[in-house]
């Protein structure tokens, strides 16, 4: 260890760490705790509270800047952590302040919202999830961490693992969709990607699983809104991804803005004490979301910020993000005897352990290497992964023949292509929400991608309209170009800031006058492909009824245009599958594949059953849906047994054949339905999947295994257990297109 920069008091404990050799995890933890306890024992109350305080750095045209008050707080030991501070040069100067000019020389921690990339931007997380490729998703997090850590960061405020079944909520873009099983696997994959094998590796970031808990289920889809769930639904649907991330090693947890059952999450003892600490045995650092302690006053849960801080600390919050509540009030709360200093000590111990595990006490400058920053920013590896991940994230929604021929993939080598729409040559919106320090100048737009892929075609591009507003100044030009073209690609959807935080929408059609433009262009009679780019599912009923080809491309990041061009031209055969259902209209929401049956299931012939008068129950496009340029045939399901006991394993297999003329990837999905339970069960639940590549004419047997562990749920007595009875197993290409078989679970 580099000891000379630390006070003499640290030498004895630090020597113990060196001499021990840290031969195993237990030994390392013991040495770490000895070191941290020694340091804690030398801290004043103000210095302890400073470690519990997280403030933000800003950005000006000249680069990153720090509020002068925060600079004074750092020098006085009143602020031990910063977020949004980035670049090696800037963070090095800040770290010099902390370890060179403060009494105890405790290093600063640097955090940032590295949601889907740092400089090189990958597809939004919702898009990545549509790849159903856990290795690629993990790789995205790994590379994002490498680039961000090379810029002096230690801590990513990701993964966001909130399950969401209401696309009105803008932050659906940051998660993995509507399914708990898939969401939990992706949460673990992203956590492992960020953190790697060691937090002290300067090419990794500590993960922060968020938002704890059930932030993705606000009433009416309004961000920051109230959440009210039964404990059964909370445990079965919303909690598993958080737990999966923590079991994968997530070093920290961020509280959510919402309340659950009347208690704001930032003061929710059930979440932070009973569940996180006691039941899940997690010692992860707990940080608030931005000013969420302060906001408990608006919730009506605290009379003032002082009380809010007391409630948060007592519930188990270690670090206050940006609100300044701990810094301004905790000392007085201790002096008054309202909170015990022991609670502060416990929080500071977790924070110091966190910094220790990151290797900051060993070398405060381990993340601050200018050459490493230069090499890893926009590296070829980053850019190539951005392309590969983007291609896998695209979902082909429709490709029906026109005059006996499908529009996709494009087969024209020459001719006129009309690229119409506000997203056709738009680098910023390709980056999507929360695009960190993404550089629009590095983005390949759709126009640029098509020009590279189709150099002999005459590609004529016009906006036609914006993603917002009613400006029709280029609408007539769009119609003229459509009339002159052999084929039209309509690049429509949302701008990057129409989804994400504080971007809830009550209307999910195309914003602005884009729908008018689509209808005007389609009326020309020129064949139309709609390229839909957004951060959420949109209601596109008219397009689905009237346009022969629809490609859902979400917001794909730095290499968006190249990936889209590869799919449109057939250089890449689309393989994405939806991880969230597309509603027909907002009135259907929530609509998701794992709903429950009612006592009067929908029957078109019976008026008095559960249905609408004006729209079908089913979504426009269901969970798991996605087309290919080839076709796949499924055999029936073969079971190795029709009855299994609690200790047995069921094997269910299907044979999948590529019946088309192109190689293609297919995600084979397995669902189960518990036909009778002590509480009602969903009509189906995802329990397995496998992504396979088949050549034309090739077939493959896909085998899934099930045990009683896969059939557990929270029973009427709230025990997590499997119950004997009959089950249906469903295997297919989407949640609505499956083969079926039945088996029985016995005691």
Catalytic residues: 289
Radius of gyration (C-alpha) of the chain in whole angstroms: 27
Q: Rounded to an integer, what distance in angstroms lies between the CA atom of residue 99 and that of residue 103? A: 8
Dig out the tokens for 442 from the structure.
Answer: 């590095």
Backbone angles phi, psi at 80, to 5 degrees: -105, 5
Q: What sign has the CA pseudo-torsion 602, 607, 608, 612? A: positive
Task: Report DSSP state, residue 161.
Answer: -
Dig out the tokens for 244 from the structure.
Answer: 């999966």
Q: Rounded to an integer, what distance in angstroms lies between the CA atom of residue 522 and that of residue 529? A: 10
Backbone angles phi, psi at 229, to 5 degrees: -130, 155
The closest alpha carbon to 738, from 665, 692, 684, belongs to 684
Q: Rounded to an integer, what distance in angstroms lies between the CA atom of residue 197 and that of residue 475? A: 54
Backbone angles phi, psi at 168, to 5 degrees: -65, -30
Burial class (CB in 10 A: 0-12, 13-18, 19+), 336: exposed
675 to each of 33, 131, 609, 671, 739, how far by Cα in Å?
Answer: 51, 30, 20, 13, 16
Backbone angles phi, psi at 576, to 5 degrees: -65, 150
397 in Cβ contact with 621 (< 8 Å): yes
The closest alpha carbon to 114, from 208, 199, 177, belongs to 208
In the numeric block, the tokens 């400006």 are attached to: 471
Burial class (CB in 10 A: 0-12, 13-18, 19+), 379: middle
| Segment (H or E) for 139 | helix 134-149
- Residues contacting residue 703 through CB under 8 Å, at least 6 positions apart: 651, 652, 653
263 to each of 165, 229, 253, 299, how far by Cα in Å?
Answer: 22, 12, 18, 9
**Orientation angle between helical segments 560-568 and 380-393, nearest 10 degrees:** 50
Helix (H, G, I), strand (E, B) or coil at 249: coil
Helix (H, G, I), strand (E, B) or coil at 511: coil
Q: What sign has the CA pseudo-torsion 201, 205, 207, 208? A: positive
The closest alpha carbon to 517, from 536, 530, 502, belongs to 530
The closest alpha carbon to 667, from 579, 604, 586, 744, belongs to 579
Burial class (CB in 10 A: 0-12, 13-18, 19+), 221: buried
């Amino acid at each position: 260890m580099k000891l000379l920069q630390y006070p003499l008091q640290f030498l004895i404990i630090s020597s113990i760490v060196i001499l021990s050799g840290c031969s195993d995890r237990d030994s390392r933890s013991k040495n770490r705790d000895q070191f941290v306890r020694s340091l804690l024992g030398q801290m004043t109350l103000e210095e302890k509270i400073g470690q519990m305080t997280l403030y933000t750095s800003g950005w000006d045209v000249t680069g990153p800047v720090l509020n002068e008050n925060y600079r004074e707080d750092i020098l006085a030991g009143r602020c031990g952590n910063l977020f949004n501070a980035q670049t090696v040069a800037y963070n090095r100067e800040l770290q010099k302040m902390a370890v060179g000019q403060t009494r105890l020389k405790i290093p600063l921690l640097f955090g940032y919202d590295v949601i889907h990339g740092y400089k090189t931007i990958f597809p939004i997380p919702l898009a990545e999830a549509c790849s159903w490729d856990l290795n690629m998703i993990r790789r995205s997090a790994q590379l994002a961490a490498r680039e961000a850590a090379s810029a002096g960061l230690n801590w990513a405020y990701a993964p966001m693992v909130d399950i969401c079944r209401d696309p009105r909520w803008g932050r659906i873009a940051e998660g993995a969709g509507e399914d708990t099983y898939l969401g939990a696997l992706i949460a673990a994959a992203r956590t492992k990607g960020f953190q790697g094998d060691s937090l002290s590796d300067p090419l990794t970031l500590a993960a922060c699983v968020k938002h704890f808990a059930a932030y993705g289920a606000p009433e009416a889809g309004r961000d920051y809104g109230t959440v009210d769930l039964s404990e059964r639904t909370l445990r079965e649907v919303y909690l598993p991804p958080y737990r999966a991330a923590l079991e994968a090693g997530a070093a920290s947890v961020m509280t959510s803005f919402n309340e659950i059952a009347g208690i704001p999450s930032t003061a929710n003892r059930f979440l932070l004490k009973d569940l996180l600490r006691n039941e899940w045995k997690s010692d992860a650092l707990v940080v608030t979301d931005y000013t969420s302690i302060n906001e408990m006053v608006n919730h009506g849960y605290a009379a003032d910020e002082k009380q809010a801080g007391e409630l948060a600390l007592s519930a188990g919050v270690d670090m206050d993000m940006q609100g300044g509540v701990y810094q301004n009030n905790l000392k007085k709360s201790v002096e008054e005897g309202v909170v015990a200093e022991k609670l502060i000590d416990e929080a500071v111990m977790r924070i110091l352990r966190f910094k220790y595990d990151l290797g900051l006490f060993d070398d405060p400058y381990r993340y601050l290497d200018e050459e490493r920053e230069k090499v890893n920013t926009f590296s070829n590896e980053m850019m190539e992964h951005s392309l590969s991940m983007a291609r896998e994230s695209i979902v082909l929604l429709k490709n029906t023949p026109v005059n006996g021929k499908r529009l996709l993939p494009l087969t024209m080598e020459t001719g006129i292509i009309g690229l119409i729409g506000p997203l056709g040559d738009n680098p910023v919106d390709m980056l999507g929400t929360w695009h960190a320090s993404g550089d629009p100048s590095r983005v390949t737009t759709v126009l640029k991608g098509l020009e590279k892929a189709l150099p002999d075609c005459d590609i004529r591009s016009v906006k036609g309209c914006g993603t917002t507003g009613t400006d029709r100044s280029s609408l007539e030009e769009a119609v003229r170009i459509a009339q002159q073209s052999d084929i039209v690609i309509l690049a429509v959807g949302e701008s990057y800031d129409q989804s994400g935080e504080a971007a809830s929408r009550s209307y999910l059609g195309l914003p602005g006058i884009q729908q008018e433009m689509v209808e005007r262009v389609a009326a020309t009679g020129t064949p139309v492909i709609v390229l839909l780019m957004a951060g959420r599912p949109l209601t596109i009923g008219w397009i689905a009824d009237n346009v022969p080809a629809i490609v859902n491309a979400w917001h794909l990041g730095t290499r968006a245009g190249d990936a889209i061009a590869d799919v449109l031209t057939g250089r890449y055969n689309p393989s994405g599958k939806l991880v969230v259902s597309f509603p027909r209209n907002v009135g259907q929401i929530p609509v998701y594949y794992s709903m429950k049956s009612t006592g009067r299931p929908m029957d078109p012939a019976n008026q008095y059953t559960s249905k609408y008068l004006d729209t079908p129950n089913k979504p426009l496009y269901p969970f798991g849906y996605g087309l290919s340029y080839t076709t796949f045939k499924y055999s029936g399901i073969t079971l190795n047994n029709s009855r299994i006991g609690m200790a047995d394993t069921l094997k269910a297999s299907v044979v999948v054949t590529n019946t088309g003329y192109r190689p293609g990837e297919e995600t084979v999905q397995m669902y189960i339905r518990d036909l009778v339970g002590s509480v009602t069960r969903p009509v189906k639940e995802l329990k397995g999947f496998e992504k396979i590549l088949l050549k034309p004419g090739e077939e493959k047997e896909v085998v899934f295994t099930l045990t009683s562990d896969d059939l557990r749920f929270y029973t009427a007595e709230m025990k997590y257990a499997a119950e004997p009875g009959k089950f249906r197993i469903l295997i297919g290409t989407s949640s609505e297109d499956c083969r079926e078989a039945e088996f029985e679970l016995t005691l």
